[in-house]
Amino acid sequence: MASGGSVVGVKYDGGVLLAADTLLNYGSLAKQSNIPRMALIGHSTILAFSGDYADFQDATKELKTEILHAQMLEDGVTHTPKGIFTYLHRTVYGKRSKFEPWQCQFIVMGYDKNDGVFLGGMDSIGTKWTGDCVSTGYGGHICLPLLRKAIEGKKAATGNPKALLTRDEAMAVLEDCLKGLFYRECRAANRFQIAEATADSVKIGEPKILDTNWSYQGFAFERTSIIK
């Protein structure tokens, strides 16, 4: 199966950012390098994934169909990011209970005028979580500590236990996370997309290339190779 690597998300003061590379792997083969791993669901929600790309496509189709059915009712009710997250969670748990799970970890983010920014994740068996920062896959091990350190540092510096990063601070730490993934995760690439949700818009950005540096001593082939 074609699969995607880690996804990383973080809230900032006034919005939320979500980042993922555009690489699909077939086992250890880097198969396709320019495949978006995010999808816009409705007008205010973005879904991203780690895991099986086919299951992500199936989940995206399921959510878009649900939104279309709701729109056909013409009752003025719209799906919020939190509502889509809950619907997806119940669907994931239902499929797991039938022993036909989607082999994915999902992250849902968005903005609603009543609830503000939303950021949450779930795994393939229906365990869900929300927070100021979330990550899937290998990013849960190497990115969350960086994000939490930045957020806790902001709270300590301002003396406000509810303080969030600025947009520039969030973007900087997010790019540091992507660099760490590219250097350390075997299923990551340096081509990535960043999605953003604010009160003004919810959008997925164009692919960009990370500015990386392979001149560090630890990356030198002569120092790490077995065969000289």
Encode pLDDT of 2-21 as tens digits: 999 999 999 999 999 999 99
Predicted TM-score of the model (pTM): 0.90
pLDDT tens across 142-198, in order? 999 999 999 999 999 999 999 999 999 999 999 999 999 998 888 899 999 999 999
Max Cα distance, the chain (Å):
71
If you search the block for the tokens 């189709």, which residue do you land on? 61
Residue 39 has pLDDT above 50, yes or no: yes
**Average pLDDT for 71-76:** 82
- By CB atoms closer than 10 A (0-12, 13-18, 19+), residue 3 is buried
Element (H, E) at 30: strand 29-32
**CA atoms of 19 and 203, how far apart (whole Å):** 12
Which pLDDT value is given to residue 88? 96
| Per-residue pLDDT tens over the stretch 192-228 | 999 999 999 999 999 999 888 777 776 665 554 444 4
CA 88 to chain centre: 15
